[in-house]
Amino acid sequence: MAYSLWLDGQWIEKEAFGELGSLPVMTHGLHYGTAVFEGLRFYEGRVFQSDRHYQRFGQSARFLDFDIPYSVQALQTVTQELVSGLPYKDGYIRAIAWCGEASMLVSHRLSNVRVAVHAAARPLPYTQDQYQNGLHLTGSCWKRPDPQTAPVHSKAAGLYMTSSMSKKKAEEEGCDDALMLDYKDRIAEATSSNIFFVRDGALLTPFPHSFLKGITRQTCMDLAKDAGIVVQEGDFYIQDLSSMQEVFLTGTAIEIVPVASITLGGQKWSFSAGPMVHWMQKEFRKLTQKGL
């Protein structure tokens, strides 16, 4: 039987998804953003880095002051079972936990917490040419918030509002994605991926002051360090872009993709999709095929 959804401990077949996978309109998470999620990928029928993802899932919920009523291990097992029953070997998994319908008071003290894991086929979002030659980014008019303004290290649904608006605007302007600065005008990330720079052979990436610490970001930093490449986190501003030879983005959904240009504040910077990003793509591919 091919189940595509696991919801609060129940397996739901694809055909019943419409009926059983629907939510009550009066759901706390829908109205107040009390929801956290994870995006995972599976390769060759194996879920990639599910331990790291589910640890972050629990942490994201704790940042929002609620607990996920399943252990990391239980979620890993459920997810692997879900994937094993599917007729395809590669795809994308969404896990989400949200405050449910038990209470609609603003405080979620009396809320029930619901959890779902959904798996489906999902090819990489960009073309082969884009993975080879790069994306075109424009600047977002939204800033990543001060950590005292929002729980910036949580993969909280509510924090995606500015990502959605920025990405939509970028697409409408004929670009692929938007670059987001933070509340102090430091370069932060793209709308749903982290950013890296290459300067004089070193791999550079912003300190995660105001954004999610990506699991792919950490994997790339580890791969580079293991290969003896200098890796540095730092504070970077738009004026630093002219000294960068390569730029690339990382994330579970997109994997690793070069950036060909950034247009921001009336200026445009162009980058070559050089040897570092193509090396990183190759090393990352080896890891996903090993299924760690």
Contacting residues toward ligand PMP, per CB under 6 A = 39, 163, 189, 192-194, 211-212, 214-217, 250-252
Nearer of residues 85 and 151 to ligand PMP, judged by Cβ: 151
| CA–CA separation, 18 and 22 (whole Å) | 6
- Return d(Cα 96, Cα 19) in angstroms, integer: 18
In Å, what is the CA distance from 243 to each residue of 157, 192, 236, 240, 267? 35, 24, 11, 6, 14
Q: Can you tell me the distance from the alpha carbon of 252 to that of 57, in angstroms, rounded to the nearest whole number? A: 14
By CB atoms closer than 10 A (0-12, 13-18, 19+), residue 52 is middle
Instruction: Give the residue with the Cβ less far from ligand PMP, 249 or 273.
Output: 249
CB 234 within 8 A of CB 207: yes
Nearest to 251 by CA among 217, 218, 280, 285: 217
Q: How far is the CB of 40 from ligand PMP (least distance, A)?
A: 8
Nearer to ligand PMP, 179 or 212 (CB): 212
Residue 34 CB, shortest distance to ligand PMP, in Å, is 18
In the complex, least distance from residue 253 CB atom to ligand PMP, rounded to whole angstroms: 6
Closest distance of CB 238 from ligand PMP, Å: 19
DSSP type of residue 255: E
Alpha-carbon distance values, 117 to 2, 132, 279 (Å): 14, 32, 33
Q: Identify which of residues 12 and 40 has a Cβ nearer to ligand PMP in the complex.
A: 40
Q: Would you say 104 or 253 has its CB closer to ligand PMP?
A: 253
The CA-atom distances, in angstroms, between 44 and each of 75, 80, 283, 288 are: 19, 12, 17, 9
Provide, rounded to whole angstroms, the least separation between the CB of residue 251 and ligand PMP: 4
Residue with nearest beta carbon to ligand PMP: 214
Q: Least CB distance from residue 14 to ligand PMP, whole Å?
A: 25
Q: Which is nearer to ligand PMP, 46 or 56 (CB)?
A: 56
At which residue do the structure tokens 């996903």 appear? Answer: 288
- In the 8-state DSSP scheme, what is residue 146? P
79 vs 252, beta carbon nearer ligand PMP: 252
Residue 212 Cβ vs ligand PMP, minimum distance, rounded to whole Å: 4
